[in-house]
Amino acid sequence: QTVVTQEPSFSVSPGGTVTLTCGLTFDSVSASYYPSWYQQPPGQAPRTLIYSTDTRSSGVPDRFSGSILGNKAALTITGAQADDESDYYCALYMGSGIWVFGGGTKLTVL
Amino acid sequence: EVQLVESGGGSVQPGGSLRLSCAASGFTFRTDWMHWVRQAPGKGLVWVSRINGDGSATYYADSVKGRLTISRDNAKNTLFLQMDSLRAEDTAVYFCVRGRGTHGDWEWRGQGTLVIVSS
């Protein structure tokens, strides 16, 4: 059963802005879930973009930002570039030491 | 420079065992949480397990509880994942990930090690 939900795919034009979301099937996402975002380019290992809702990881450009929008966590990419084309995963801390990833969003830049 | 080098993957029959290792360097290993995350071919990331700095606290995804065991040797800066009673659905690349103190700020440095469970 899917617990953490993400859009399966999204597309954005070069230079455009896109917002990906991360929800829960049984609750609203809040900061207490420490929503985090990871980027995985094709054929590469993931890297951390955002953790604890809105903190950018070291070296991540400020084109990437995290927030809570309504009842979901959100990752916004502004000024999209060709090398932003990747899979994006959110992860939520469920408490009791457990983390759960969403199914990922495949972002196309075209 | 932080390095995380996974090893120990391979092919194994259902019901078999494997032990994965992750050699860490470039940071104070004994102070950091460490995680295993896996990715089946063509599929998404799945969190598997984590362990605290001194090894006294471990947590597991329900899908692996009782079959996979995380441990560490701080004297050798090495993280382990003992995999027993393996199933076809355990087939995946396994990534060793460093937790940098704050929830979710994870450092991914390795390319992972591939485990194939098949008869």
- Give Rg (Cα) of chain A: 13
Task: Confirm if B111 and A45 have CB atoms less than 8 A apart.
Answer: yes
Q: What is the pLDDT along chain B (119 residues), one digit of tens a residue?
A: 999 999 999 999 999 999 999 999 999 999 999 999 999 999 999 999 999 999 999 999 999 999 999 999 999 999 999 999 999 999 999 999 999 877 889 999 989 999 999 99
**Structure confidence at residue A2 (pLDDT):** 65
CA–CA dist B45, B41 (Å, integer): 10
pLDDT tens for A27-62 read: 999 999 999 999 999 999 999 999 999 999 999 999
Cβ <8 Å between B44 and A57: no
Cβ <8 Å between B104 and A96: no
pLDDT tens for B82-113 read: 999 999 999 999 999 999 877 889 999 989 99
Which residues in A lie closer than 8 A to residue B50 (C-beta atoms)? 97, 99
Q: Return the C-alpha torsion angle B51, B83, A92, A12, nearest 10.
A: 130
